[in-house]
Structure 1
């Protein structure tokens, strides 16, 4: 520990007892212990996790070879990003066949071997499902292009006539989340339209032009996806993460909307502002909060999930649906996890909250209150495949702390500050009741790759934004497993589909596992303690000693006191306090152990 001088010690904040006065806002759960209520779920991005065949792209046999990594770390479940047959225009989120593993990743038999190996180790497996849109290579869309306007084949998608004298303008003004218009004109009709023929239809794609949106008002679309669910449930998957869960149903008439759409964005305008109030929908279908225009968060999505809930129910009653729904306020997000709909929903309000004690207290309180109102667990997440890794994001300073990717010419994060805050944020998150998500590599302290050559970028957001947004490639770089091996042990040949930065050497799994005080060792210890203390089903009470402090966040969950110090003045712990885990080195204030800035500690109560 580092000793502070007497002046600093005199300025230290103090916690005088390990049994502080608390205001309980969330009671310990006494409901049935379905695994998903408390699970720590590890996200695997297959192309970047581990490569078994040496082509430089991760695959399912590579994941299977690393199953013991999940067990050693202490997670409960593994979520796999899409592994289905796809042209990979959006890294697999453009699905051509929902029932077949893409040869890039292996075979259906490989996936079944992965399931068997995971289940033998007590791990659950969640598959990613992409129901908002298909690939333009999907048999349905190819048939729609061939069949022409007015056909039954086109009715499965959102084809519309254009505006203007010859239909040369898009049907409405919607923008793609990846940049540019959300409409593309059918190529074989575009040339003819210039000669006065007016049947050159357009199709909607809220993402890339190669990802046409399905029309979820069509009964065949609904029945097809219910059958897809059963296909994978019959093979033993334990649940589904639903991509763009709030986007499948659009407002009637597809009205114009002047708002902006974004990948993952919060609506808070100030560090302490958390949007919790319900919003009445306007005529265009917008609720006025977050990504809630006429293309998002429509009432009809709930009918879909009630039907899906019934599909899952006969499968031992313990399968899970997880909503990727970028919806605010939190009270509206909670509607997705009512008792007859989904089981979990990603908490993006938490992910996008600033590193600020008041803001975090507000979003945690609002999250627990909203989920408690419907009897669902709250989820917590700090990184995923769509956002800058939090070890780098939290090292950014200035106003633009949530850019869509970081390029070599962009302001660079403070690596030391970012990792220190990321570790503190993670330890705070894992102390909260509910379920938590871990993105592959964050347990190794991986930073974003911020020096990637632009000509190597593969995220469609890069070119669709007019080369103004670096995109998501920086958080998707292949993992380092062995420090002294080619490609840091990602695969047998040393090839990697994206280059790894030099900083990955010290983050390699073999180094992290054997280094005292490493990020990996902190994750492993926290997960073991979280399970032993049953924190997932625990209560939460804010410590009133620090209720008005702008620099300290402190709460009690079961018999664990969690303290995070955001300020310069150290927080002195009670004399004789039993420290369970700390995110970084502690200091002293006088004769007391103290928590320095950007550090979280767990203390036995």
Structure 2
């Protein structure tokens, strides 16, 4: 299908996140790589995906699996070569797949040449590229800020007798984005990849990039409970989401806009009103600040419905919505809400207004995999073992087939494979009309081909304790009614005003497809339908 004229590709695309270590291993070392991704592009094209977002592939000591970057313009040999990346880009574009890279601007690796030079002495020309500060008179850290990965966020350097700030691991020192030289160096890194032809960036922890100039203490969090990460003990009002960050985001937007039809997507975990500020005052911020509402809310129809309406109502006039159900930091969708509701969630994700992002493996219903303590690799899990916060369970190898190691590799992979892989895999589901994969493909293909679904308006129709119903309408008159039962009990949707006529085109239970709808629509538990509506007045 050709793209509609004058509509940016990222508004109508379905984005697919690839965690490269876990997607496909072509060189038989147990770790996914760029050649592995290339080998699966035909699958992604078949599925209907229009853009892939690849988690970091830069040179890195891998303290945080690539989010500790030691060279912003290179490729980690674990994943391949720059020639491999160039081939991936060309092969993807040949299949009408756009490529987004993960850009990590908040911090570098402590082995990045910039930090090595910065740490050399207080007089280093790059000293101010990072956040260095004297301790308090008693020698303690400059303030009470916490690391997301546990413990204090300040690390003492005995050689230069100052602390440096790290919002994450001590191996991930934060850059000083108040320094114009840092800004230009990072913009140039973005230009390097844009010159190669990448189609944009997902920007890591965008809201962390600027810190309070006075380094004031964060206040205690009155709602903290012991089961939460220690980071949550304080409200990060001075260490994140500072007003000056928006000028930085606007500059990033200028860099990307100079290359035409490219996109910036910001990773931002903030309440809705704060999130909306990242669109910029003149829609000159991020094209799409990631919307994580569906990752965090209880799976309860009234709350989901209210959140959708709140989000739609808060969007700035030119702001484009987006939706996320899974990523590399959160438990998998199927493990959060169960296999049956995961099918309903697929319908929701792919019929709401805005750009959906799909996490690899969710399309086949992959679960979190229990990882024994001695096999934990994630630094968050290793640093806080008593809180069971490892992200490894949602990062396990993609399940391609029933061959050993799920067809991901011919050798033991870096994380264990789900024991259910023999029946939960792409090959088993690809030609199964009733499978999760078939449902995702039908939804994606329908969305790709229907302006009402990929561009049209959203109108809430009904919300009860069990169901959500809404319409999607295009300017050309095509319309769809979506009804979702978010419980395991049967429910009824009663048409009360104008009687709508139409036919089910996609359903979580394929037996419902091609059936007409009645005045009263009955859904079994864990059921969802997409109805193509007849034009009003059609009596045929």
What TM-score results when the alignment is normalised by the length of structure 2? 0.89
In the alignment, which of 221, 231, 250 is matched to residue 211 of structure 2? 250
Within 5 Å, which residues of 2 pair with 1:498-537?
Answer: 498-534=415-451, 535-537=453-455
**SS at the partner of 2:207?**
coil
Unaligned runs of 5+ in 2: 224-231, 474-478, 534-540
**SS at the partner of 1:306?**
helix
1:340 corresponding residue in structure 2? 284
1:542 corresponding residue in structure 2? 460
1:299 aligns with 2:228: no
Do the aligned residues in 2 keep the contact of 1:175 with 1:261 (CA within 8 Å)? Answer: no
In the alignment, which of 105, 125, 129 is matched to residue 152 of structure 1? 125
| Aligned-pair CA distance for 1:433 | 1.1
| Aligned-pair CA distance for 1:514 | 2.0
**SS at the partner of 1:246?**
helix
Do the aligned residues in 2 keep the contact of 1:132 with 1:245 (CA within 8 Å)? Answer: yes
1:143 corresponding residue in structure 2? 117
| Aligned-pair CA distance for 1:439 | 0.3
CA distance change for structure 1 residues 221 and 260 in 2, over 3 Å: closer, same or farther? farther
1:421 corresponding residue in structure 2? 341
Do the aligned residues in 2 keep the contact of 1:461 with 1:469 (CA within 8 Å)? Answer: no
1:570 corresponding residue in structure 2? 491
2:270 corresponding residue in structure 1? 327
1:554 aligns with 2:469: yes
Deviates more, 1:531-540 or 1:433-442: 531-540
Q: Distance in 2 between matches of 1:573 and 1:365?
A: 21
Q: Distance in 1 between matches of 2:486 and 2:199?
A: 39
| Aligned-pair CA distance for 1:501 | 1.9
1:24 corresponding residue in structure 2? none
| Aligned-pair CA distance for 1:103 | 0.2
1:193 corresponding residue in structure 2? none
Superposed CA offset, 1:557-589 (max 9, x none): 121111111342422688985211112367899
Within 5 Å, which residues of 2 pair with 1:85-100?
Answer: 85-100=59-74
Q: Distance in 2 between matches of 1:181 and 1:591?
A: 60
Q: Distance in 1 between matches of 2:471 and 2:118?
A: 57
Deviates more, 1:231-240 or 1:302-311: 302-311
Q: Distance in 1 between matches of 2:254 and 2:520?
A: 56
1:226 aligns with 2:145: no
| Aligned-pair CA distance for 1:490 | 0.6
1:481 corresponding residue in structure 2? 400
Q: Distance in 2 between matches of 1:162 and 1:432?
A: 50
**SS at the partner of 2:420?**
helix
In the alignment, which of 425, 431, 444 is matched to residue 351 of structure 2? 431
Do the aligned residues in 2 keep the contact of 1:134 with 1:212 (CA within 8 Å)? Answer: yes
2:536 corresponding residue in structure 1? none
Aligned length: 506
| Aligned-pair CA distance for 1:592 | 7.4
In the alignment, which of 497, 500, 525 is matched to residue 597 of structure 1? 525
Structure 1 segments, 4+ long, off by >6 Å, are 573-576, 585-593
In the alignment, which of 374, 380, 391 is matched to residue 472 of structure 1? 391
Superposed CA offset, 1:220-254 (max 9, x none): 10000110011000000000100001111001211
Q: Distance in 1 between matches of 2:235 and 2:303?
A: 20
1:75 corresponding residue in structure 2? 49
1:119 corresponding residue in structure 2? 93
CA distance change for structure 1 residues 120 and 261 in 2, over 3 Å: closer, same or farther? farther
In the alignment, which of 270, 287, 304 is matched to residue 360 of structure 1? 304
CA distance change for structure 1 residues 603 and 452 in 2, over 3 Å: closer, same or farther? same
2:148 corresponding residue in structure 1? 177
In the alignment, which of 7, 13, 20 is matched to residue 39 of structure 1? 13
1:13 corresponding residue in structure 2? none
Superposed CA offset, 1:470-528 (max 9, x none): 31000100111121x1211112x232111112112211110010222101000000011
Superposed CA offset, 1:44-91 (max 9, x none): 000000001000000001001110111010011000000000000001
Q: Distance in 1 between matches of 2:83 and 2:222?
A: 39
Do the aligned residues in 2 keep the contact of 1:259 with 1:293 (CA within 8 Å)? Answer: no
Superposed CA offset, 1:532-560 (max 9, x none): 222121111111xx34x222110011211
**SS at the partner of 1:502?**
coil
1:375 corresponding residue in structure 2? 318
1:84 aligns with 2:58: yes
CA distance change for structure 1 residues 259 and 529 in 2, over 3 Å: closer, same or farther? farther
Q: Distance in 2 between matches of 1:115 and 1:573?
A: 49
Q: Distance in 2 between matches of 1:505 and 1:426?
A: 23
Unaligned runs of 5+ in 1: 1-29, 190-198, 263-287, 395-417
| Aligned-pair CA distance for 1:203 | 0.9
| Aligned-pair CA distance for 1:293 | 1.5
Do the aligned residues in 2 keep the contact of 1:242 with 1:323 (CA within 8 Å)? Answer: yes
In the alignment, which of 210, 232, 240 is matched to residue 201 of structure 2? 240
**SS at the partner of 1:237?**
coil
Do the aligned residues in 1 keep the contact of 2:219 with 2:235 (CA within 8 Å)? Answer: no
Query: Cα RMSD over matched residues?
Result: 2.5
1:7 corresponding residue in structure 2? none
What TM-score results when the alignment is normalised by the length of structure 1? 0.80
**SS at the partner of 1:240?**
strand
| Aligned-pair CA distance for 1:466 | 4.5
CA distance change for structure 1 residues 527 and 149 in 2, over 3 Å: closer, same or farther? same
**SS at the partner of 1:506?**
coil
Within 5 Å, which residues of 2 pair with 1:5-44?
Answer: 32-44=6-18
